């Protein structure tokens, strides 16, 4: 079945550092890919998404590019802030399986220190 | 615009007591609905999902059940809570089966 693998956390960075959170996937079809963010004590929010190969999703300074050749969707930000401290989830939706839930990675906790 | 509500926000229950968590969605029709559980410091565990009234798919066998009595209402229940049921319960909805939108969650502590 389909799966999503994220880098293990926690990741601790200083403010203004460069962030990369790796995400790779396996899928039967041609999936759509997502990054969600969960701030402490809250539900998940959609951060960005990409629906086809070479698409770049971007939001709030975060970017991720859909790389079909490496089956990856790594999340990047050039300069993180303390307010970016959260758990980040990579996910996919595979149209082969029709109307089924997203497949999520296990999440990566990011802590940004001033 | 669409909104999703969950209540209660926080719940403390004794072991063996019943449970009822409610989720409602506004501003859309015939959404797909989902229940997830997140144990402390862990990832998401899909519990149930529903593509229509009375249609429930269970992902993990356990002492929880779900019902969808109305198009935009999704209820998570238990007859007898266990300590291991403690966690953060998240409801989500989608229309296309792609992007899912999450509620604010219910934090459940079973003592």
Per-residue pLDDT of B70-104, as tens digits, reads 999 999 999 999 999 999 999 999 987 689 999 99
Looking at chain B, the whole-number percentage of residues with pLDDT higher than 70 is 98
Would you state the pLDDT for residue B97?
66
Would you state the pLDDT for residue A25?
96
- Give the pLDDT band (50/70/90) at residue A94: confident
Q: What is the mean pLDDT of residues A9-31?
A: 94
Q: How far apart (Å, rounded) are the C-alpha atoms in residues B24 and B26?
A: 7
Would you state the pLDDT for residue A33?
96
Would you state the pLDDT for residue B59?
85
Q: Which of A17-21, A30-34, A92-96 is the most confident on average?
A: A17-21
Can you read off the two tokens belonging to residue A61?
A: 């300074």
A99 shares contact with chain B (CB less than 8 Å): yes
A107 shares contact with chain B (CB less than 8 Å): yes
End-to-end CA distance of chain A: 41
B51 shares contact with chain A (CB less than 8 Å): yes
Contacts of A99 in chain B (CB under 8 A): 32, 51, 97
- Give the pLDDT band (50/70/90) at residue B60: confident
C-beta neighbour count of A53 within 10 angstroms? 12
Please answer yes or no on whether B99 and A107 come within 8 Å at the CB atom.
no
Q: What is the mean pLDDT of residues B27-33?
A: 92
B44 shares contact with chain A (CB less than 8 Å): yes
Would you state the pLDDT for residue A2?
87
Can you read off the two tokens belonging to residue B81?
A: 């809570």
Is the pLDDT score of A97 beyond 80?
no
pLDDT tens for residues A24-56? Answer: 999 988 899 999 999 998 999 999 999 999 999
- Give the pLDDT band (50/70/90) at residue A100: confident
- Give the pLDDT band (50/70/90) at residue B68: very high
DSSP state of A100: -
Contacts of B46 in chain A (CB under 8 A): 101
Q: How far is CA A33 from CA A13, B92, B100, in A?
A: 25, 17, 12
- Averaged confidence pLDDT in chain B: 92
B92 shares contact with chain A (CB less than 8 Å): yes
Contacts of A105 in chain B (CB under 8 A): 43
- Residue B4 distance to chain A (closest CA, Å): 11
For B98, the closest of A41, A42, A93 (CB atoms) is A93
Would you state the pLDDT for residue A51?
93
End-to-end CA distance of chain B: 38
- Give the pLDDT band (50/70/90) at residue B61: low
Q: Is the dihedral of CA A9, A37, A43, B23 positive or negative?
A: negative
C-beta neighbour count of B56 within 10 angstroms? 17
Is the pLDDT score of B40 beyond 80?
no
For A44, the closest of B46, B102, B107 (CB atoms) is B102
Is the pLDDT score of B11 beyond 80?
yes
Q: How far apart (Å, rounded) are the C-alpha atoms in residues A113 and A83?
A: 10
Q: Which of A35, A40, A102 has the most B C-beta neighbours within 10 Å, making it the best mutation to test the interface with B?
A: A102
């Amino acid at each position: 079945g389909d799966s999503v693998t994220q880098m293990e956390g926690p990741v601790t960075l200083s403010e203004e550092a460069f962030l990369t959170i790796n995400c790779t996937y396996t899928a039967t079809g041609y999936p759509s890919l997502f990054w969600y963010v969960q701030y402490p004590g809250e539900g998940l929010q959609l951060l960005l998404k990409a629906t086809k190969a070479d698409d770049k999703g971007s939001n709030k300074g975060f970017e991720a590019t859909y790389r079909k050749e490496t089956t990856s969707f790594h999340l990047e930000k050039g300069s993180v802030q303390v307010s970016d401290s959260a758990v980040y989830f990579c996910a996919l939706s595979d149209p082969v399986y029709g109307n089924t839930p997203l497949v999520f990675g296990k999440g990566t906790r990011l802590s940004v220190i001033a | 615009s669409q909104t999703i509500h969950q209540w209660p926000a926080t719940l403390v229950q004794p072991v063996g007591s019943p449970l009822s968590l409610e989720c409602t969605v506004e501003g859309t029709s015939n959404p797909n609905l989902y229940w997830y559980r997140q144990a402390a410091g862990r990832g998401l565990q899909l519990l149930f999902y529903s593509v229509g009234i009375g249609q429930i798919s269970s992902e993990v066998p356990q002492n929880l059940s779900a019902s969808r009595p109305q198009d935009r209402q999704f209820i998570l229940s238990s007859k007898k809570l266990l300590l291991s049921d403690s966690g953060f319960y998240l409801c989500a909805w989608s229309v296309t089966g792609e992007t899912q939108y999450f509620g604010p969650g219910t934090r459940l502590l079973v003592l």
